[in-house]
């Protein structure tokens, strides 16, 4: 699907899951290199940026965690940008709310003949990527809220149940990090190419986008540190509980040991066993067993093990 918007001498073409005819039309109008045209027909595996004759080409991937549609629990939205002197072409392969919102802003700006926000293709690039990074911040906030929930549950005594939740949160943070890591190199290269292509004034807009990336990366680093601290706390509490259980079983084993020992001694199949055969021999043996158990219990109690 092709959406075309014009404002003064500026043209913005937005391609959503473009067909061969859509791509062919922009190739003919804007003299797009065939290599780039082929890449627009389907998503690419990795982000990158290149300079061609008359335009810059940029591919970025943005992670989405809140509405997973595959077994990995996340998807990455690819957005391709072709930035020329007086035009910008964006290509995406899913419907993105940020693009729909910006289209309305662009149309209002054009109808009011207001050039305060949009004056060149790099302004559109900046405004779009700002919205895309805002979406990333929303995903980061979702993970941050999940970690806050996990923290409250850990201190409610649900350490065991939170092991899986911590693992899922770790997977989400890792997916965010892996999707955004290539942005640093891509945006840095784009800034250098922009200086050659359009000058320092427009490179400053790319630098603003780099700052958005660094802010998102800093937030990801913080929630990763929070995850590690929660994981250590949860492991410590789990270990403490397991040690308590083991201690109880160990004490029970020592407490019941005299019972087993006395019962085994008086149960031996030998002649002339003391006490056995005398009056009240049963109660005497039971008393010995009870005394031994009480002594062991008192010993552990004074040691503070009970």
Please tell me whether residues 217 and 295 are part of one structural domain.
Answer: no
CA distance 132 to 94: 13
CA distance 182 to 281: 84
DSSP code of residue 80: E
Supply the CATH number for residue 117's domain: 3.30.460.20
Please tell me whether residues 254 and 288 are part of one structural domain.
Answer: yes
56: Cβ contacts below 8 Å, ≥ 6 apart = 49, 50, 81, 82, 83, 190, 193, 194, 197
Q: What is the pLDDT of residue 112?
A: 60
96-117, pLDDT tens digit by residue? Answer: 888 888 887 777 766 665 555 6
Look at residues 197, 218, 239 and tell me which one is the last residue of a structural domain.
239
The CB density around residue 209, as the number of other CB atoms within 10 Å, is 22
> Exposed, middle or buried: residue 46 (CB in 10 Å: 0-12, 13-18, 19+)?
exposed
CA distance 109 to 121: 14
Which residue, 183, 177, 211, is CA-closest to 79?
A: 183
Kind and range of the H or E run holding 172: helix 159-197
Please tell me whether residues 36 and 150 are part of one structural domain.
Answer: yes
CA distance 304 to 306: 5
The CA-to-CA distance between both ends of the chain, in Å, stands at 73
Please tell me whether residues 190 and 264 are part of one structural domain.
Answer: no
Helix locations, the chain, DSSP H: 20-30, 34-40, 97-111, 121-154, 159-197, 200-266, 281-303
Q: What is the pLDDT of residue 111?
A: 65
Q: What percent of the chain has pLDDT over 70?
A: 91
Look at residues 193, 220, 239 and tell me which one is the last residue of a structural domain.
239
Please tell me whether residues 277 and 174 are part of one structural domain.
Answer: no
Number of residues assigned to the chain: 306
The total number of structural domains in the chain stands at 2
Rounded to 10 degrees, the C-alpha dihedral 18/93/185/55 comes to: 20
Mean pLDDT value across residues 114-143: 85
Please tell me whether residues 136 and 250 are part of one structural domain.
Answer: no
Q: What is the pLDDT of residue 211?
A: 93
Please tell me whether residues 167 and 195 are part of one structural domain.
Answer: yes
Q: What is the pLDDT of residue 64?
A: 83
Please tell me whether residues 282 and 197 are part of one structural domain.
Answer: no
CA distance 5 to 90: 12
Domain of 72 in residue numbering reads as 2-239
Cβ-contact 61, 48 below 8 angstroms: no
Pull the structure tokens for residue 124.
Answer: 């559109």
E strand intervals along 8-67:
10-16, 48-52, 55-64
Residue the block writes with tokens 């603003």: 208
Please tell me whether residues 251 and 123 are part of one structural domain.
Answer: no
Q: What is the pLDDT of residue 66?
A: 57
User: Which range (36-50, 58-72, 165-179, 188-202) has the least confidence?
Assistant: 58-72
Q: Which residues of 67-77 are buried (b: 16+ CB within 10 A; e: fewer)?
A: eeeeeeebbbb
194-237, pLDDT tens digit by residue? Answer: 898 888 888 888 899 999 999 999 999 999 999 999 999 988 88
Supply the CATH number for residue 278's domain: 1.20.58
């Amino acid at each position: 699907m092709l959406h075309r918007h014009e404002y003064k001498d500026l043209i913005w073409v937005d391609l959503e899951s473009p067909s061969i005819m859509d791509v062919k039309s922009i190739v003919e109008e804007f003299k797009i290199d065939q290599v780039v045209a082929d890449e627009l027909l389907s998503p690419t595996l990795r982000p990158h940026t290149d300079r061609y004759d008359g335009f810059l080409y940029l591919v970025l991937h943005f992670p989405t965690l809140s509405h997973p549609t595959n077994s990995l629990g996340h998807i990455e939205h690819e957005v391709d940008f072709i930035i020329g002197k007086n035009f910008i072409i964006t290509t995406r392969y899913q419907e993105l709310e940020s693009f729909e919102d910006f289209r309305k802003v662009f149309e209002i700006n054009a109808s009011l003949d207001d050039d305060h926000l949009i004056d060149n293709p790099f302004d559109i690039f900046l405004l779009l990527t700002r919205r895309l990074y805002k979406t990333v911040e929303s995903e980061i906030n979702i993970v941050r809220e999940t970690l806050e929930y996990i923290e409250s549950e850990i201190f409610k005594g649900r350490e065991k149940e939170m092991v899986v939740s911590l693992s899922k949160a770790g997977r989400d943070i890792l997916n965010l990090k892996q999707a955004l890591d290539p942005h640093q190199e891509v945006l840095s290269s784009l800034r250098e190419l922009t200086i050659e292509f359009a000058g320092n004034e427009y490179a400053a807009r790319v630098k603003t986008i780099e700052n958005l990336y660094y802010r998102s990366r800093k937030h990801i680093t913080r929630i990763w540190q929070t995850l590690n601290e929660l994981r250590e706390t949860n492991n410590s509490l789990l270990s403490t509980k397991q040690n308590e259980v083991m201690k109880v079983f160990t004490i029970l084993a020592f407490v019941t040991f005299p019972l087993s020992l006395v019962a085994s001694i008086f149960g031996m199949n030998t002649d002339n066993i003391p006490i056995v055969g005398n009056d009240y021999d049963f109660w005497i043996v039971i008393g010995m067993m009870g005394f031994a158990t009480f002594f062991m219990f008192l010993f552990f109690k004074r040691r503070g093990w009970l």
